[in-house]
Amino acid sequence: MIMTPPDLATSPAYPVVGPQPDLVDWLLRAAIVAGLLGLTWYAFAADIFGPIVQTAEEGHWVGLVKRPSVIWAAMGTLLINVRTLLWLSYRPAAPATSAEAPKMTVVIPAYNEGPMVAQSIDSVARADYPHDRLEIFVVDDGSTDDTWGHIQRAAARHPGLVVATRLPKNMGKREALAQGIRLASGEVIVTIDSDSVIEPNALLSLAGPFRQERVGAVAGKVTVMNREQGVIPRMLAVRFIIAFDLLRAAQSTYGTVYCCPGALTAYRTSALMPLLDRWLHQTFLGAPCTFGEDRGLTNLLLNAGFDTVYQRTAVVSTIVPRTYDKLCKMFIRWDRSYVREEIRYARIVWRRPWRAMLLSLFETCITNLRYPVSYAALVLLVILIPTHPMVLARLLFVIGLFSAFNMLYYLRSERSTDFLYGILYSYFAFFGLFWIFPYAAVTVRARGWLTR
């Protein structure tokens, strides 16, 4: 039986910490607020909301189908306003001190990872965490290359700290994770992908939010390790910063981070263990779930009444695809998981505390409406371009405008000219990745990992 977590009102408050704002930080904040006001003013000046209001008054909702760009602009304006307000209120929890650090178990599953797994193990073993309260389980999921040898040599470098385990055959990431979790004796369990390296303070940072008894999982900040290896990694590096330092930071303010990533997440052991078998044997439409284990487990924790939060100061670097075909395979896998878990979350959201429920309904409704709206806009674009070529120019301008505004959030995290790759990614995603979501939706029952 799953214990209901304590009511938020009875849970002790925990200290928060944040970067000391400098002049540039304040200027970026001011630019974001000014840009937000400008976009909102433009939306009203251009009467973007007018057709929606008129349709509501007349009751002719079908008419809006003919104006997807109006819906798109209105939704985007509302969503970015709410997200920004939440983002401005986000503060990471103070990291745990060495004296108060709970006993922690780190689980690293690996499959055909080669020498990269050794870097992952070493980064955890050398982290700033009391070794007498740390154990590391590395599980080789039946690799067919030299991964097991790298794991054994890493374990020998850190005797008494790293324990190596090998499955007799490839059984999937969930089973590999479960193998390590079953061995865990820590109060907190951390999962790290074998192609990822953590920063020294990541473990203490992850432990900090667990002072709050409602917290069941803490998502770390994922950055791109191989960003110098091409245009695609550079674009993804910017996208990851936006996905974490804007989206997950905003979600964290109401305790509902929808996906705590496999690259770096900490779980409260007492919350995780009762859910382990359900998660391990999860099915969807009769098919076993072989990927999306991170969001699947996040949903189970939210359903059990726990909060999931984001910790900006717990940083991990991971390897991302460098080529278009591998990028598409990764996104197909992610979107299949997204479809499945969004359907599950639609039943869970009603059990969340009222504030989290209202904000979740608002965000998920608008986020998911972007798919039919964007595809309708794309179809109309193809139809209209031959007779109205300026339609394409206006669309390109709008994409660039909203993307450039989003880059202000990126610049607050990383003051780098790489923000230009973020603008490039907006065009690349619209014209080069538009087919992935519908394909993932119609093949949602597929079980292949694709990247192996």
Q: Kindly report, residue by residue over 252-279, the tens digit of the pLDDT.
A: 999 999 999 999 999 999 999 999 999 9
CA distance 32 to 40: 12
Q: pLDDT digits over 168-185, tens only?
A: 999 999 999 999 999 999
Distances (CA, A) of 218 to 2, 9, 11, 352, 400: 19, 20, 17, 17, 33
Take residue 378 and report the two structure tokens written for it. 């794309």
Take residue 215 and report the two structure tokens written for it. 């917290």
* Residue position matching structure tokens 């989290």: 356
pLDDT at position 8 is: 38
Q: What residues contact 220, with CB distance under 8 A and at least 6 apart? A: 198, 202, 205, 206, 261, 263, 264, 265, 266, 311, 314, 315, 316
Take residue 66 and report the two structure tokens written for it. 């003919």
| The model's pTM | 0.88
Has residue 60 got a pLDDT over 70?
no
* Residue position matching structure tokens 């179809």: 379
- Three-state DSSP state, 250: helix
CA distance 449 to 452: 6
Assign domain 104-351 to its CATH superfamily. Answer: Spore Coat Polysaccharide Biosynthesis Protein SpsA; Chain A (3.90.550.10)
Q: Quote the Cα angle for 76-297-353, to 5°.
A: 60
Which of 111 and 395 is assigned the larger pLDDT?
111
pLDDT band at 292, cuts 50/70/90? confident
Of 1-15, 23-37, 338-352, 381-395, give the lowest mean pLDDT range: 1-15
pLDDT band at 14, cuts 50/70/90? very low
Once rounded to an integer, what is the mean pLDDT over residues 134-152? 97
Find out whether 207 and 101 touch, Cβ atoms under 8 Å.
yes
* Residue position matching structure tokens 């178990």: 105
* Residue position matching structure tokens 């505390």: 353
Distances (CA, A) of 314 to 260, 303, 378: 13, 25, 39
pLDDT band at 51, cuts 50/70/90? low
Report domain extents, the chain. Answer: 32-91+370-442, 104-351
pLDDT at position 447 is: 64
Once rounded to an integer, what is the mean pLDDT over residues 72-97? 87
Q: What residues contact 164, with CB distance under 8 A and at least 6 apart? A: 138, 140, 148, 151, 152, 154, 155
Which of 349 and 36 is assigned the larger pLDDT?
349
pLDDT at position 450 is: 54
Q: What residues contact 200, with CB distance under 8 A and at least 6 apart? A: 126, 127, 128
* Residue position matching structure tokens 């509501």: 56
CA 107 to mean position of chain CA atoms: 19
Find out whether 219 and 248 touch, Cβ atoms under 8 Å.
yes
Of 20-24, 160-164, 218-222, give the lowest mean pLDDT range: 20-24
Q: Which residues of 233-249 are buried (b: 16+ CB within 10 A; e: fewer)?
A: bbbbbbbbbbebbbbbb
